[in-house]
Amino acid sequence: MKKTIIAATVSFVAGSLANAALVSQFGILDLTANGGINPNTAVAWAAGDQYRLAFHTLGTIPATSNDPAVYDDFATNQAQQNSLLATSTGWTAMVWVNTNISLAQGVSPVSSPLVRSGTGDFTGGSGQGGAGVPVYAIDGTTSIARNNNDIYDNWSNPFESGIGVTQADGTGNNTQRVSGVFYSPFLDQNGDQTVNPDAIHGKTNWTGGFGVSVNPLGDTSDEVRASNGNSNANNPGRVWNRFNADNTASLGVYAISEPFTVTDAIPEPSSALLGGLAGLLLLRRRRN
């Protein structure tokens, strides 16, 4: 009799844990969005799956430093202004940075955000199953990239599979815009859109261009300009290299998280479970 009751209890507890819901790290990613499908795998989210979050910073910073850590630390500090992300670390500012002030532009070594953020592997292309993990805006529902390749391909959305936000009607600068939602990191760290929803070009951010071919952040011996893009991802030039400005100006940056992980939620024992266990203990005492 004891063995039967104990076995039934173990089975009940195991079943309760097995049916535990999934949770996203820091609780921002809505795992039911897009039908509960991971946009990089085309199947339902599972424990162990990873993803990233991205935003444009509400705060601003000048582009005069030649130390990439200055911009990454700024991105992390900005992320921590969101109470849900207060303990998060390891954010990367998506900016290219000249690292040697004494050398000329094009000669100075350049720090790449592909390297600093670990998003430089483009294996598999920009479709589902490419290298890397999905990237979500801070609303937790809008996937703005399926994988690494998508990050640098306009922060592309919509997706060929139909997963994610659908293609917008329109032409020119409005081609990839739906109801004021921009497909690059169009929200700040608080999940707010800080530009007019009808603005064509969105929020201006330092980027340093794309690669080393434009004007990375930081001074050089012959250059004090830095490239900027904006939060309307209608083409790579506008995302990464719309214009350039004196690097003493103060602009925001795109920030991207390190990979976060989906895990099984371990529920608190229910009152019914605790009551059942208490009853078992009482029954065992009486039988003894």
3-state secondary structure 223-264: ECEEEEEECCCCCHHHHHCCEEEECCCEEEEEEECCCEEEEE
SS3 68: helix
CA separation (Å) from 60 to 70, 78, 99, 144? 12, 9, 20, 23
Question: Domain extents for the chain?
Answer: 21-265
Angstrom distance (rounded) from CA 34 to CA 158: 12
CA separation (Å) from 246 to 156, 216, 224, 231? 29, 12, 6, 20
**Mean pLDDT along residues 73-81:** 98
More confident residue, 6 or 35: 35
**Mean pLDDT along residues 160-183:** 46
The yes-or-no verdict on residue 287 having pLDDT over 90 is no
**Mean pLDDT along residues 130-143:** 92
Provide the whole-model pTM: 0.81
Q: What is the pLDDT of residues 240-265, one digit of tens each?
A: 888 999 999 999 999 999 999 999 98
Angstrom distance (rounded) from CA 45 to CA 150: 19
Residue type, 67: D
Whether 209 and 216 have beta carbons less than 8 Å apart is answered as: yes
Angstrom distance (rounded) from CA 221 to CA 102: 5
Q: Give the residue among 59, 66, 62 at the shortest CA–CA distance from 91.
A: 59
Angstrom distance (rounded) from CA 219 to CA 66: 7
Whether 43 and 31 have beta carbons less than 8 Å apart is answered as: no
How far from chain centre, in Å, is Cα 228?
20
More confident residue, 139 or 234: 139
**Mean pLDDT along residues 74-84:** 98
CB neighbours of residue 221 within 10 Å: 13
Whether 218 and 99 have beta carbons less than 8 Å apart is answered as: yes
What is the widest separation between alpha-carbon atoms in the chain?
89
**Mean pLDDT along residues 69-92:** 98
More confident residue, 94 or 175: 94
CA separation (Å) from 50 to 43, 45, 141, 226? 13, 9, 15, 33
CA separation (Å) from 249 to 27, 61, 178, 208? 35, 8, 31, 13
